[in-house]
Amino acid sequence: MTAEPAETPGTPGTPGTPGTPEIRLDRLLPHPPAAVWAALTRPELLARWWAAGDIAPVVGHRFTLDMGAFGQQPCEVTAVEPERLLAYRFAEGTLDTTITWRLEPTADGTRLRLEHAGFDLDSPMGRQAYQGMGHGWPHVLDRLAAELTTA
């Protein structure tokens, strides 16, 4: 069974719309929070649906994500609540953004909320990343959902 994406559309003047420096997505996944948490925090699982890297759910842990053509991106975990919240700085020294994953148990599985924030829309690289990741994140979450279904 697959879940339809439940993406939170933006409206003018709210986070998640073009012109604001945040991307927000909301997905309902028919899998328990423990399974979703594992996919977010276990390096071998993360590599299957997004990027290879030595992630660990420990505040202060520094790690690198291999973003292919976009290179090795340094990251640092900033917040952890097991099976509830994982946040990390992403692409430190270049984009300097923050990725936050929030997990909420539901009767049918997990509501996963992604926020990618802190884009500098005054820089060409920041604008390009915001646009590219705004289009790319839904596909990444599709791959996560597919990985959870086949796992």
Residue 33 in any domain: the answer is: yes
Task: Kindly state the DSSP code that residue 26 receives in the 8-state scheme.
Answer: E
The pTM score is: 0.86
Q: Give the Å distances, CA to CA, from 20 to 50, 87, 104, 113.
A: 24, 20, 25, 18
Phi/psi for 57 (5° steps) reads -80, 65
- Number of domains forming the structure of the chain: 1
CA atoms within 13 A on the CB side of 30: 8
Residue 89 has pLDDT above 80, yes or no: yes
- CATH number, domain of 77, equals 3.30.530.20
Mean pLDDT for the stretch of residues 24-43 = 98
Percent of the chain exceeding pLDDT 90 equals 83
7-16, 41-50, 123-132: the lowest-pLDDT one? 7-16
121 lies in which domain range?
25-150
pLDDT at site 70? 87
